[in-house]
Amino acid sequence: MSRTNAPHLELSRRHHHRPARGLESTQGRQNTVPCLAGVGKSDLTDFAQDVTAQVLPWYEDYFGHRYNYQKLDQVAVPGFDAGAMENVGAIFYRQSLLLMKVGATSWGAQKRIAEVIAHELAHQWFGNLVTMKWWDDLWLNEAFATWIANKAVDVWKPDWRMWDDYLEAKESALVADALVNTHPVYTPVKTPAEATELFDVITYEKGCAVLRMCESYLGDATFRKGIKAYMAELKNKNAAGADLWRHLGDASGEPVGELMSSWVVQEGFPLISVSMVDDKHLRIKQRRFYSEAAAMKRESSQTWTIPMVIRFGGPTGKQATHRHLLRQAEEIIELPAAAQWVHANADASGFYRVEMDTATLSALLRKGLPHLMPSERMTLIEDQWALVRNGRGTIGNFLNTLSALRGDSDHIVSRSIASRLGGIYNSMVSDAEASRFAALVRWFFGPQMRHSVWRWRRASTNRRGCAAPRSYTRWASWVATPPF
């Protein structure tokens, strides 16, 4: 673009030396990060500067290395084709991913902008300070930035529940990777042009999920120790994925190279089948998961090295987690204490589906649900639905799972239930059955709707002395009487 046609930019500068909320930096220095935007838009950079003020010092502390370059500008570029680009010292953004009006932007949009800024800032270390040797490790560059961006924003704003939002992106990756025609995370690349084909949900979301699964198994402190050692050795140099696995393995004493290779070199992901042998032993099997029933009926010898974190609860009501590295197609594992129920994907951090026999699932639904996190309850729904879709599960087990979660007021759980009921309605319910299905939906969501209407009425009366609008009244009438 010629100088005469270049857009005019206004500079907005803020010193962000105030202490970061929930984030700490050991570097003890002040940073100045200008934001540049079109004329009249500089007042839309406040939020971006606030995100930067919180995240940048935290990265310096996490990586154990100060920001490496002499300056850093963030530029909102009109008509920018890419979402953002992590140029050294001058990060370019699409305007909608950097600029926002505080108080007039949705919660979801705020989180998206914060995640994108954190993603691009992360590349100043992971991508720029340490750069991949060749384009076939592009996945690691992008997956790591996706993972640590969610982590950084989650530390800053834990009430935003970034990892719960990420579950939807992870589900997209699970759906894509369950196809017969998928591809590995790591793909050999001959030319830079071929690298552009790798910007997909497998590269970003599966790659991010695998890194999160690895961190969950190794532990936050151990994983961070390996990252710091990696940065210290390879700063201002080129590196490959094997270099990172080596440092994580040295920090943890675990076979990280073997683990990560099984997840990024081969395509697909496993179905883990869990059954309780007795109160201290689990039988765990693995095989490849497909979304197609015909593919699931074929024999599969494919296995993974799976870093499992299992949540379980005993007769006293106390719950705990147990880490196990599953290497064989079938293993019997011993829990450290007696268990009445188990959930084989603690924190929903594993990139796999879980199948339970009827007794194990029933025990979890009767005794374990109050102890599960919203992310774990949502994952339980999604796994049961995926098993119905490919013929491994029954609609009865799925509906029993939904029934056990009736009245769950958490938004990600309710959204998952609504989505799956919508899928059943669209694919299975005839016109003659529609009224009965509507009664079922009313039964599921009646408790939430009654509570929501009550809260709205109380808040509205307290603020303005007005009643709920007619649409809310109709909803309250619709859900007032359960069909059973």
User: 27 by DSSP, 3-state: which?
Assistant: coil
User: In the annotation, is 171 catalytic?
Assistant: no
Name the helix (H) or strand (E) containing 439.
Answer: helix 434-464
| Cα separation values, 143 from 41, 49, 134, 237, 445, Å | 32, 24, 15, 19, 37
Pick the catalytic residue from 120, 205, 215, 267: 120
Q: Which amino acid is at 452?
A: S
Nearest Cα neighbor of 21 from 158, 182, 156 is 156
How far is it, in rounded angstroms, from Cα 352 to Cα 217? 14
Nearest Cα neighbor of 24 from 52, 60, 51 is 60
Secondary structure E strands in 227-317: 237-239, 270-278, 281-288, 306-313
78 burial type by CB count under 10 A (0-12 exposed, 13-18 middle, 19+ buried): exposed
Residue matched to tokens 């194990």? 360
Q: Which amino acid is at 291?
A: S
How far is it, in rounded angstroms, from Cα 228 to Cα 52? 21
Q: Which amino acid is at 248?
A: L
C-alpha torsion angle, residues 51, 53, 57, 59 (rounded to 10) = 20
How far is it, in rounded angstroms, from Cα 167 to Cα 208? 11
Q: Mark residue 178 as left, alpha or beta (left: phi above 0; alpha: psi -120 to 50; beta: remaining).
A: alpha
Active site residues: 120
